[in-house]
Amino acid sequence: MIRLRSLRNKLALLFFAITATAFGVIYFVVVPQLEQNLEREKMADLRRVADGAGPPLEGLIGRGDIRAPELDRRVRAAADAAGARVTLLSVQRSAGGRPVFFPLSDSREQRAVPDNAGLAARAVARARTQTGFRSFGAERLGQVAQPLQFDGDTVWVALYSRSLDDVAETVSFVRSRVLAATAVALLIALIGGWAVAQALARRVRRLEQAAKNVAQGRFIEPLPVTSEDELGQLTRTFNAMQAQLRQVDVARKEFVATASHELRTPIFSLSGFVELLQDEELDEETRREFLDTMAEQVARLQKLSVDLLDLSRLDAGSVELHEEPVELTDLARSVVREFRPALADHHTELEVRLPRAGVEARCDRERVVQIMRILLDNALRHTPEGTQVTVSADRDNGAAELTVADAGPGMSDGVRSKVFERFYTGDAARGAGLGLAIARELAERMDGRIELSCAAGTTAFTLALPVDSDERSRG
């Protein structure tokens, strides 16, 4: 029973069973039908020739001058024409009206006559030719009983008998060949099925072992895809899954390492400042400077903890979005007002380009505000003081767009390709590198996108959101 649990043995037995069933159907269903069809054809041919030989025999009825030798000669002639044994039966009536049959002549001069009283009686009762079968010694006969009438009354019955042994021999030959073919086919099915199942089981075991390695955190080289069947597609899918899991594992390790570093740096800094503040000899100005620096580090920790919490919620899929029609121009003015103090400290000139007609999108208002804050904070954090920043809104190709652009130093090709990756900053002193990653995740959750474009002296981040259906119809 343990061996039957093997996929290899199950498939081999399945092939064996299918082959056995197919040949069993041939042997027990098709071959008997073949025998019946052959017998039916022989009986139809016998009946046809009996119809042709019947009238000459029927013409002999009532002739008083017919002698037994002449009658025997005529019966043998009918038998030769029919290619069958012909027995001529006389019909007598018993006291109860039942027909009684007596042999008058037989084409073979033998004492034993293959009469068939039941078939002959049926032919007399129905007054038409009847067919049937009878065993005569070791021989199986097909018989045709033909009623011969005189003045509307059945006087004689011509019984035509033909051996069906040739049919039995043909069917026996077919059966023996089917049995031989069955034995060969079953052997081939068992061996071939076992070989095919062995190959399939080997590929399945390879996938199983690879899956165990991945489950234990041991990533392996991609498995070879040797076919385009279902197992080949499964292998290709497994390779893709392993590659994704490897990336996730690497990202997780990098996330933990980077998050630990990002948290450790301000904590160590705060620890150092606390030790310095414990020194009572510090003057008031130095103490105030230390406190301001500590406040900056605390703000950095707060922002990092909020960003990490947002990322964890995004990864867990627990961020709830409440989409509704939102006027982006009003939203942009509100966020810009929040950044007035930061812009003043940065000595930045902010230009706002918002259309009077307004731009409406279907989105989550609070999440769009969060994205706008990230983009503006990013523009101030990574540009020199005094850099011009522009906030604009527009509609393009059926989408509502909010753009934050700065006239800073721009980005290299390498930075542009990684700017949305988690913890990538290009300058660790200027943030944890989580803001743009969060902004892109939020935009995609709202069926939108964030695009980066860099031209000569301008770096622009554009948030594109779907337009509300009513706004689309108006446009």
> Most confidently modeled of 122-126, 343-347, 427-431?
122-126
CATH number, domain with residue 89: 3.30.450.20
Question: For the chain, what is the domain count?
Answer: 3
For all residues of the chain together, what is the average pLDDT? Answer: 81
CATH number, domain with residue 405: 3.30.565.10
Among 316, 333, 361, where does a domain finish?
A: 316
- Asked if 15 and 193 count as a contact pair (C-beta separation under 8 A), the reply is yes
- Cα–Cα distance list, 287 to 301, 459, 471 (Å): 21, 39, 57
Among 169, 201, 216, where does a domain finish?
A: 169
Euclidean distance between CA atoms 242 and 211, whole angstroms:
9
> Most confidently modeled of 120-129, 341-350, 407-416?
120-129
Cβ neighbours, 10 Å, residue 404: 24
pLDDT over 70 percentage in the chain: 89
Among 272, 287, 316, where does a domain finish?
A: 316
pLDDT exceeds cutoff 80 at 264: no
The better pLDDT of the pair 218, 279 is held by 218
pLDDT tens per residue across span 269-326: 778 778 777 766 777 787 788 788 888 778 777 777 777 777 677 766 667 888 899 9
Residues 331 and 459 in one domain: yes
Instruction: Flag whether 143 is in a domain.
Output: yes
Residues 303 and 337 in one domain: no
User: What's the predicted TM-score (pTM) here?
Assistant: 0.47
Task: Quote the distance between the C-alpha of residue 244 and its chain's center.
Answer: 23
Euclidean distance between CA atoms 34 and 175, whole angstroms:
11
In this prediction, residues 75-97 reach a mean pLDDT of 84
Q: Phi, psi (5° rounding) for residue 143? A: -125, 145
Question: Dihedral of CA 335/340/346/351: which sign?
Answer: positive
CATH number, domain with residue 249: 1.10.287.130
Residue 438, domain extent: 324-474
Q: Phi, psi (5° rounding) for residue 149? A: -110, 155
pLDDT tens per residue across span 23-48: 888 888 888 888 888 888 988 888 88
Residues 374 and 249 in one domain: no
Instruction: Flag whether 204 is in a domain.
Output: no
pLDDT tens per residue across span 416-468: 777 777 766 665 444 556 778 888 888 888 999 998 888 777 888 999 999 86
> Most confidently modeled of 88-102, 361-375, 458-472?
361-375
Residues 350 and 410 in one domain: yes
Where in 432-471 does DSSP place strands (E)? 449-455, 458-466
Q: Phi, psi (5° rounding) for residue 65? A: -90, 0
Closest CA to 71 of 101, 112, 106, 100: 106
